[in-house]
Amino acid sequence: MAFNVECTKNEAQGNWYVKVEGEVDVYTAPKLKEKLLDPIEKEKTDLVVDMHDLVYIDSTGLGVFIGVLRRVKEYNGNIVLKGPRDNVKRLLEITGLNKIFIVEE
Amino acid sequence: MNSFSQIAASSEDCIYDKIQLILPNKPEYVSVARLTASAIANRVGFNIEDIEDIKVAIAEACTNAILHGCTECENSFVIDFKVEPGNIEITVKDKGKGMQVDKLKKPDLSNPKEGGLGVFIIKSLMDEVELKSNEGRGTVLTMRKSVTEEE
C-alpha cells in the first residue's frame, strides 16, 4: 500500500479528519508532517487520524505526531488516533505514547 | 544465551548463513532493508508479530545510520545478517560521526520529544542489543532475536 495522506474538514464535528495510508518511515515522515501541519495552520481544531490503513510506522513517524501534538496543545486541542493496527498499537504502548494521545478503536 | 558466540567459539567454520546489504545514505532505501529483513526473518521461522518487530528494529538502526552516522565522505552503510534456524543476528555499521552511548537517555513521557526513541524501541523489540560507538569513527549496532517456541 503506497503512502498517502488525505485531509478533510469534518464540519459536523468541527475537526480535521486525516486518513493515513501505507508506510511512515524516515522517507515519508517529512511528507506526513507537512500534511498534518497544513490543516491546523488554516484552522486550529482537533485532529482525528484514521490509522486503519497505516500498515507501518516507526520512531520517525511517531516523532512527527509528537511534534504536531505540541502545536495542537498550544491551542488546547487534541489528537485522536483511530483504529491503529496491532503492530502500530504495540509501538504506541512500548513508547508510552498511548497515554499522551487519545487512542480509539 | 547467544548461540552465535557459541558457534564462533567452537568452530571457525561458518555454520550460519551470511547475507550482506550495502545501502546508500538515503532515506528512500530504508524500505529495502525492511523488506530484506522481513524475507530473511520469515525464512528463519519467525511469526508475523516477530517479523514486524524485526522490521521496525532494523529501520530504526538504518534511520540512525542515515541521520546521525553517515557523513559526506562515507555515503553508505553496511547491514550484516547472520542466520541460522530459529535465530537472527543483524549488525548495522556506519563509519560516521559516532555518538556517546552513555549519553543516551530514556524517553521522558512528561516531556515527549520528536527524536531519541530509536534505540529505546530497538531494545524493547529485540532480545539482545549491543551498541558500540567511537566518536569520529562510527557506530556498530548488533541485535539478536530468537524464535520463541509456541505451545
> In this predicted model, what pLDDT tens digit does every residue of A11-54 receive, in sequence order?
999 999 999 999 999 999 999 999 999 999 999 999 999 999 99
SS3 A9: strand
A25 → closest Cβ in B30, B121, B125: B30
pTM: 0.91
* Cross-strand partners of B23: B77
Share of chain B above pLDDT 70, in %: 87
Question: Cell numbers 480509539 label which residue?
Answer: A104
How many residues are present in chain A?
105
Chain A contact probe: residue of B23, B26, B117, B121 with most A CBs at under 10 A: B117
pLDDT at B87 over 90: yes
Give one word for A33, left, alpha or beta, with left for phi > 0 and alpha for psi -120 to 50.
alpha
Q: Which residue of B has its CA nearest to A27?
A: B27
Residue A69's alpha-carbon distances to A20, A43, B59, B88, B110, in angstroms, are 16, 15, 24, 37, 13
